[in-house]
Structure 1
């Protein structure tokens, strides 16, 4: 028997014809940032890495907004997407150790790394289905297939990737029921009582922010809990009623229709917007990628650490 020794073809990046391009870089995804953070941190190995290596809780807004650039670049950087994916993978190389229960972890363990990727896929699905126009089953399958192409760009093992959309739903349910756990990093993500004023409200007086921060935090946690799988809600001790679900779906529809009033040029994150502009022929194929502004960079003493995205801006 002759073995095929030809190398696998280079993974094909996603493009403007994909559903992932339409929804992943949409600013509505920021509304689900606490959901994504909590779901990711509930993974035992991922949560341990965040607890021991991340500065997320010291600079929550800066960490969120700068991460959107390289992660979004894996989707929107076109011919450079594979290079961006290698950079993102590299940021996780040194994130390893042993957690408080004596379990070893490494951020580049394929099962751990894939779990984070799976949450980004489901986030995209939720933005389109629950905060957007809704998705047909065929479109959900398309998004699943696109997330597999997206994953291939990282050059990671395909072993943890479910075979199809149905298998992914089984995987997601299994993780929620049997793997995810209640831990300190998850609780910290959901503790918004002392969160700093978001950049979008920078003109709001600090005194006013202190007055509205409590009600805003409670509303954000309620909104986040509504998107958790039922097993996750139970594990974290939250209740969810039929009335809650109806209210959340009404809010989702309001967001969808209200979003139509936002100018198209303002609907996407800068890295995603640059991808759309490049696809339309603006800026040129070799134009530099858009990097995070200096206000989002880590503190100066942390910028040389290999786990930080810290471009020279």
Structure 2
């Protein structure tokens, strides 16, 4: 199924085991799933939607803009599960959510979410986001680990069972690909601007019960400015220019100081709780804290789509989604 797996012979210290899955010794397991990644949310969403065909699919088919918190929180589970579940089935399920997402763009060109160039671009923002996050917010990452992340990203992508044609062969080729996309392919779009504007969002589901609406509306304007500034700092310069966003030398100094503060704060958090629940659950299975054959941890029911949307095949919506409190071996953890 994968070009990489065909020419890789696992060894005892190889992060890719005999099953062809990424393992706990991989660099991907070390960096992916850290809560620092939440600071990358607007960057990831907007960068994806800058691809014209991906933006068209989201604009025409997704209910992302009607339930942004729920969609984000539940999508983290299958996306991270492709890495942490250690089974090819999760990747195929994520792929199949996209089977019916197709249509025609304003210029008459047709698009499909499983167009290899479109699907790989979304994947590129996920795996390369690990590097951007580490560079900005920690933990520190070496050049060697960046290259290992790229090699592992090929294995990760192969788990979807889609064409490997657009995947670069080397890290250097990937950097050239990324630069070309930023300079020549990506475009501004209403979907991008909507992602970047969070002022109209309601409180997230886990906060809605105790955050007064008036207080939320007052603070979300400030939060929006902060996250737009963070996202601007994460963009490549050609993207900033395309979006008409300014970034000064003083902004860069403050951005580095902010990133150092985030890294210092996160280092004070116990390692286990720096991780998203799905990543933490995978760690627990490896360490024997959770039975290896226990049901996979799914998103809480509060994040599921409502009404008839629950039966829409474009949504991840496990019928057995449970709150962590219902799983006795995980009852002391927080599940978002």
Q: Which TM-score applies when normalising by structure 2? A: 0.87
Deviation at 1:208, TM superposition (A): 1.6
CA separation of 1:151/1:11 partners in 2, compared to 1, >3 Å: closer, same or farther? Answer: farther
State yes or no: 1:162 paired with 2:168.
yes
- Which blocks of at least 5 consecutive residues in structure 1 are unaligned? 1-6
Which one has more relative contact order, counting CA pairs under 8 Å at least 6 apart? 1
Deviation at 1:127, TM superposition (A): 2.0
Distance 1:159 1:166 in 2: 17
Computed over aligned residues only, the root mean square deviation of the Cα atoms, in angstroms, reads 1.6
What whole-Å deviation, never above 9, does each CA across 1:62-90 have from its counterpart, x for those lacking one?
00000000001001112x2x110000000
What whole-Å deviation, never above 9, does each CA across 1:204-257 have from its counterpart, x for those lacking one?
332221211111111111111110111111111101111111111111110001
- Which blocks of at least 5 consecutive residues in structure 2 are unaligned? 8-17, 322-336
- Contact 1:62/1:297, CA 8 A, preserved across alignment: yes
- Contact 1:11/1:153, CA 8 A, preserved across alignment: no
What whole-Å deviation, never above 9, does each CA across 1:145-187 have from its counterpart, x for those lacking one?
1111101111111110111111000000000000000111001
State yes or no: 1:144 paired with 2:150.
yes
Q: Which TM-score applies when normalising by structure 1? A: 0.94
Q: How does 1:1-313 map to 2 (within 5 A)?
A: 8=6, 12-78=20-86, 80=87, 82-199=88-205, 201-202=207-208, 203-312=210-319, 313=321
- Contact 1:11/1:152, CA 8 A, preserved across alignment: no
CA separation of 1:11/1:51 partners in 2, compared to 1, >3 Å: closer, same or farther? Answer: farther
> How many residue pairs end up in the alignment?
305
2:14 aligns to what?
Answer: none
What whole-Å deviation, never above 9, does each CA across 1:13-44 have from its counterpart, x for those lacking one?
11111121112111111111110000000001
Distance 1:64 1:276 in 2: 22
Distance 1:284 1:274 in 2: 10
